Amino acid sequence: MIHLRCNDVKYADYIGKEVTVRGWVHRLRKQKENTFMLIRDDRGGVIQCVLATEKALTLTIESCLEVTGKLQQDSRAPEGGYEIRATDLKIYGVAKVDYPIGEYQSEDLLLDNRHLAVRTRRMSTIAKIRASILKYARQWFIENNWLEVNVPVIVKDAVEGGSTLFKVRYFDDDAYLSQSAQLYLEAMVFSLGPVWSVTESFRAEKSRTVRHLAEFTHMEAEAPWIILDDLLRIQEQLISHIVQNTVNENSADLGYLKRDLSDLKSIEPPFDKLSYEKVIEILRSKDFVIIEDNGNERKIEWGDDLNVDSERELTRNRSRPIFVVDFPISLKPFYVKEDHEKEGIGLSADMLAPRGFGEISSGGERENDITSITKRIEKESLDPKAYDWYLDLRRYGSVPHAGFGMGIERLVRWIANLQDIKDTVLFPRTMSRVRP
Ligand code: 4AD
Ligand code: MG
């Protein structure tokens, strides 16, 4: 008996042969004599099966079954013109008739029933693209001799400011959910050299945006003796490797999501580098305004941070990512090293994805002088005592080093061309959603 997994086989090789497909009833049309079902297998592939209606009376949408029969070519069959003329049927589970997921449903209903909505073609297509992105990221790190490490997510210290920390009760004490693995990766470069990790990061983001989640998958890397230029080259290569291989492996999936592949195929190093100063100049020349907390509008000026709208404006007409460098250090966290040739400017870079998608990574050289970094911690109103272990890294054999963090969901959102970041994860966590 030949077990079909729809997307892994060439149907033409099996015409006239007896095959079996296991899966779920995706679409169902009962006629007097025959019942036409679209069966979805366990990788989201579908094939039409035709069955005598008298054998199909109990079947409902999402019933789980195994169909055996002859594979035939029929141009009327959906999804490629092949169908199985069923002779045998084994039913594993008849679904209740009130399956809540249909074709046209509100976003809220789909999110409330995400445990079922993950079965839709769209969600499994995205999940496969996401898996490729992670696979090729890991492949790049392995091929380039970076060591994968794992770090804790229950921590005591803020990395990206105190306002987005999730507090958790930790026995008789308080702790936080990690915002970034960075401090731990920094600790590892002393004995493991270039290291990287994929860790869940948490941000209590109070805003509802299409690019923020409360929990996201963070791919981070850190290496000793590298400078900002090296870090940009590493990211260009990594991104190009991920994109080219994913396009290659998932062209049908990306096509299903109506992703324009020619844009992606053009992604290769080097990416343009724009200074923050230049970026502000460009935005001012377009009369770009920012809205202040009190609701007032004014033209963007030097010293303002970039936001979703300014990043969209900067990347709208580009087909490749760009790096924004030379940010004022006042806009960046305590660990960013100051450029000693340009006072007040940090040695950091944000990578912005093209076509308006905006920031996908942040990274840079780390301040490795104990006095400077202690001052910076105090300036951010953080308690240097809380960072004692981290400051030891500057006390005992401090080394110049650099690293970056990239949000996997931001990467998926761009590569798969999705509007809402919630679609890039199977079970999104946002301000208003923590189940299912
Ligand atoms: O820019 P961020 O905050 O930088 C850091 O956390 C550094 N400590 C990383 C490092 O150097 N090791 O976050 C890095 C990336 C962002 O560029 C973005 O892609 C993603 O993480 N990110 C989020 N993704 C989804 N939802 C959120 N709320 C995110 N916050 C950050
Ligand atoms: Mg950032």
Q: Where in the chain are the domains?
A: 2-93, 114-424
Structure-token match 């929990």, residue found: 215
Q: Whose CA is nearest to atom 20 of ligand 1?
A: 407
Pick from 387, 410, 429 the residue to mutate for probing ligand 1's pocket: most ligand atoms within 8 Å of its CB: 410
Residue 201, helix vs strand vs coil: strand
Quick check: 10 pLDDT over 90?
Answer: no
Pick from 201, 210, 367, 401 the residue to mutate for probing ligand 1's pocket: most ligand atoms within 8 Å of its CB: 201
> Per residue in 237-287, pLDDT tens?
999 999 999 999 999 999 999 999 999 999 999 999 999 999 999 999 999
Q: Whose CA is nearest to atom 9 of ligand 1?
A: 405
**How remote is the CA of residue 415 from the centroid of ligand 1, in Å?**
17
* CATH node for 2-93: 2.40.50.140
Q: Which is it for the CA torsion 208, 214, 216, 218, positive or negative?
A: positive
Check: CB of residue 180 under 8 Å from CB of residue 157: no
- DSSP character for 159? S
Phi, psi of 7 (to 5 degrees): -80, -10
| 342-348 average pLDDT score | 97
Regarding the beta carbon of 405 and ligand 1, being less than 6 Å apart is answered yes
**How remote is the CA of residue 254 from the centroid of ligand 2, in Å?**
27
Q: Whose CA is nearest to atom 23 of ligand 1?
A: 407
Q: Whose CA is nearest to atom 24 of ligand 1?
A: 407
Q: Whose CA is nearest to atom 29 of ligand 1?
A: 212
| 404-430 average pLDDT score | 97
Quick check: 103 pLDDT over 80?
Answer: no
Quick check: 1 pLDDT over 80?
Answer: no
Quick check: 27 pLDDT over 80?
Answer: yes
**How remote is the CA of residue 167 from the centroid of ligand 2, in Å?**
21
State residue 241's pLDDT score. 98
Verify cis geometry, omega within 30 degrees of 0, for the bond prior to 400.
no
- Give the whole-angstrom CA distance, residue 106 versus residue 128: 24
Q: What is the pTM of this model?
A: 0.95
Q: Report which secondary-structure segment, H or E, holds 142.
A: helix 121-143
Ligand at shortest distance from the CA of 334: 1
Pick from 179, 186, 216 the residue to mutate for probing ligand 1's pocket: most ligand atoms within 8 Å of its CB: 216
Residue 106, helix vs strand vs coil: coil
Regarding the beta carbon of 18 and ligand 1, being less than 6 Å apart is answered no
State residue 200's pLDDT score. 98
Atom in ligand 1 nearest the alpha carbon of residue 164: 28
As residues whose CB is below 5 A from the ion ligand 2, the structure lists: 362
> Per residue in 281-319, pLDDT tens?
999 999 999 998 898 999 999 999 999 999 999 999 999
- Give the whole-angstrom CA distance, residue 380 versus residue 366: 16
Residue 64, classified by CB atoms within 10 Å of its CB into exposed (0-12), middle (13-18) or buried (19+), is middle
- Give the whole-angstrom CA distance, residue 215 versus residue 189: 26
Quick check: 52 pLDDT over 80?
Answer: yes
State residue 205's pLDDT score. 87
Residue 311 tokens read as: 């990043």
Check: CB of residue 370 under 8 Å from CB of residue 237: no
- Give the whole-angstrom CA distance, residue 221 versus residue 182: 8
> Per residue in 122-170, pLDDT tens?
999 999 999 999 999 999 999 999 999 999 999 999 899 888 999 999 9
Ligand at shortest distance from the CA of 413: 1
Residue 339 — pLDDT band, cuts 50, 70, 90? very high
- Give the whole-angstrom CA distance, residue 14 versus residue 373: 67
CATH architecture group of domain 114-424:
2-Layer Sandwich (3.30)
Q: Whose CA is nearest to atom 3 of ligand 1?
A: 160
Regarding the beta carbon of 216 and ligand 1, being less than 6 Å apart is answered yes
Residue 366, classified by CB atoms within 10 Å of its CB into exposed (0-12), middle (13-18) or buried (19+), is buried
85: number of CA atoms within 13 Å, CB side? 9
Fold match, 2-93 / 114-424: no
Check: CB of residue 73 under 8 Å from CB of residue 81: yes
Residue 3 — pLDDT band, cuts 50, 70, 90? confident
Q: Whose CA is nearest to atom 22 of ligand 1?
A: 407
Regarding the beta carbon of 160 and ligand 1, being less than 6 Å apart is answered yes
Regarding the beta carbon of 410 and ligand 1, being less than 6 Å apart is answered yes
Could you tell me the end-to-end alpha-carbon distance of the chain, in angstroms, rounded to an integer? 38
> Looking at per-residue confidence, does 410 or 207 come out higher?
410
Ligand at shortest distance from the CA of 405: 1
Ligand at shortest distance from the CA of 366: 1
Phi, psi of 306 (to 5 degrees): -80, 150
Residue 56 tokens read as: 């199909």
Phi, psi of 122 (to 5 degrees): -60, -45
C-alpha dihedral, 379 to 400 to 221 to 421, nearest 10°? 30
Q: Whose CA is nearest to atom 7 of ligand 1?
A: 405
State residue 78's pLDDT score. 87
Question: 169 forms bridges with which residues in the sheet?
Answer: 174
Q: Whose CA is nearest to atom 17 of ligand 1?
A: 361
| 59-71 average pLDDT score | 97
| 195-207 average pLDDT score | 94
What percentage of residues in the chain have a pLDDT greater than 90?
Answer: 89
- Give the whole-angstrom CA distance, residue 378 versus residue 360: 28
Lowest mean pLDDT among 98-107, 196-205, 367-376: 98-107
> Per residue in 358-410, pLDDT tens?
999 999 999 999 999 999 999 999 888 989 999 999 999 999 999 999 999 99
- DSSP character for 340? T
State residue 293's pLDDT score. 84
The pLDDT mean for the chain works out to 95
Verify cis geometry, omega within 30 degrees of 0, for the bond prior to 436.
yes
